[in-house]
Amino acid sequence: MSERHLDPGRGGGRDSGAGRGAGVAGFFARVRAMMVKEFIQLMRDRVTFATMIMIPLLQLILFGFAINTTPRNLPTAVFSHENTDLSRAVLAALKNTAFFSYVREVHSADEAEHLIRSGEVLFFVEIPAGFERDVRRGDKPQILVAADATDPIGSANALAALAGVINTALAHDRFVDAPGENAFQIVQHRRYNPAGTSQLNIVPGLLGTILTMTMLIFTALSVTREIERGTMESLLAMPIHPVEIMLGKILPYVSVGILQAFLIVAAGMLLFGVPLEGSVLLLVAATLLFIVVNLSIGYTFSTLAQNQLQAVQMSFMFFLPSILLSGFMFPFSGMPLWARVLGEGLPLTHYLRMVRGVMLKGATFPDLQVDAAALVALMLVAMTVAVARFRQTLD
C-alpha cells in the first residue's frame, strides 16, 4: 500500500503534468471520457432507453392501425342535379356500401357546404345535370366529390373507394360494359387539408416529430440531472471545458437518434410502402444534422433550466409549435405569414422539407442546401447559447 505515489511526476513534478491533457489530444480525451460516461449511464438507465426505442415503434404500430382500418360509415350527403336511372343507381350504390353512410340528399350547394362545415357529413357527392346522357354518349361527365380531409387517411381511402363503388353500380345496371372502364371522372376537392397529407407524407413527418421529442428530452435532462444528483460539483472541479462537456453529452445520443430513425424509415418502407426516391446517404446526412440540432437545443434548455421539471416543460413548449407550425400538421404554404416566419425558425420545418424531398421526390443536395444551412445555423445558435449559459461555478 505504501508503494503508491511513487510514480514519477506525482506530487512535486509540475512539468510532467503540465504537458498532459493539453492541446487537441487533451480535448478529444476529455470529450471521449464524457461520452463513455454518458453512454454507460444511458445503457444503465434501462427504462429511459427502452422508452426511447418503444416510442417510435408504438407510434408506428398505432399509425399502422389507422392506415389499415378500412374507413366505414363515413357520413355522406348527395346533391343530384337530375333524377334519372343512373343517378338513382349511384345513390343506391352509395347507400349499399359500408364505406359510406348516406345521410340525406340536399338541393343546393350552400346546404351541402353547411353540412360539411358543421361536420355533420364528411363527404359530399355532386352529380351534375345531364349525367346519364353524358355517360351514354361517352362524354365522361364529372362527379364532384368534396371531402373533409382533416382525417387524411380516412378520406384518402374513401375517395379511392368511391370510384370503385360507382363503377360497380354502373356495370351492375349495364350502363357500361365492364367495371373499371371509366365512363365518368371524379373531381376531388379536399377541404381543410389541401395538401392531402397521406401516409407517404406522414411517415417522414413522424420521423421528424419523434426525433424532435426524444432528442430534446435526452439532453434537456442532462445538465439538470448532474446538478440535482450533486455530481456537478465534482465535474466542475475537474479540468474540463463547457464545450467538452456539451459535446460529450450530445454525441452519445446521436447513436440513439440514428437507431430511432432507422426503425421508423425501415418500418415506413416495409409496412406502408413509403418510397426512398433519393439517396440514402443524403437522408442519413440530413437526419444526422437534424438529430444534432435537436440535441443542442435540448442541451441549451438544460443549461437554462433550474431543475429537471423546468427542462421538460421547456422542451414541451418547443415541441408543440414544432408540430403545429412546421408543416407536419397543416400545409406550410397555407399558414398565415406570422406562422410561417415562426415556422422557419423551427428545425422540424427544414427537416420535413429535406426528408420529404429526399424520400418522396428524389431531391438531391442542391435542392436541400438552403434548409441544411438553416439547420446548421440553428445548431450553432443553440450551442453558443448553451456554452455561454453554462454555469462554471456554483455561485
- Applying CB under 8 A, the residues found at the interface with another protein are 1-2, 4-7, 9-12, 14, 17, 20-21, 25-26, 29-30, 32-34, 36-37, 40-41, 44-45, 229-234, 236-241, 392-395
Nearer to another protein, 231 or 369 (CB): 231
**Quick one: which H or E segment has residue 131?**
helix 131-137
Nearer to another protein, 217 or 245 (CB): 245
Minimal distance, residue 254 CB to another protein, in Å: 20
Minimal distance, residue 46 CB to another protein, in Å: 11
Nearer to another protein, 11 or 273 (CB): 11
Per-residue b or e along 75-106, where b marks 16 or more CB atoms closer than 10 Å to that residue's CB: bbbbbbeeebebbebbbebbeebebbbbbeeb
Cα-only R_g, the chain: 29
Extract the C-alpha cell encoding 91.
345513390
Minimal distance, residue 31 CB to another protein, in Å: 10
Coil, helix or strand at residue 124:
strand
Nearer to another protein, 337 or 394 (CB): 394
Look at residues 327, 350, 325 and name the one whose alpha carbon lies nearest to residue 339. Answer: 325
Minimal distance, residue 228 CB to another protein, in Å: 12
Nearer to another protein, 2 or 118 (CB): 2
Minimal distance, residue 312 CB to another protein, in Å: 20
Nearer to another protein, 27 or 192 (CB): 27
Extract the C-alpha cell encoding 234.
465534482
Minimal distance, residue 1 CB to another protein, in Å: 7
Q: CA-to-CA distance for 180 and 202, rounded, in angstroms?
A: 30
Query: What's the per-residue H, E or C state across 173-220?
Result: CCCCCCCCCCCCEEEEEEECCCCCCCHHHHHHHHHHHHHHHHHHHHHH
Q: Which residues pair with 79 in a beta bridge?
A: 106, 126
Minimal distance, residue 256 CB to another protein, in Å: 17
Nearer to another protein, 2 or 108 (CB): 2
Beta carbons of 77 and 115 less than 8 angstroms apart:
yes
Nearer to another protein, 34 or 386 (CB): 34
Q: CA-to-CA distance for 258 and 215, rounded, in angstroms?
A: 11
Minimal distance, residue 98 CB to another protein, in Å: 55
Q: CA-to-CA distance for 35 and 250, rounded, in angstroms?
A: 8
Helices vs. strands in the chain: H and E counts, helices first: 16, 5
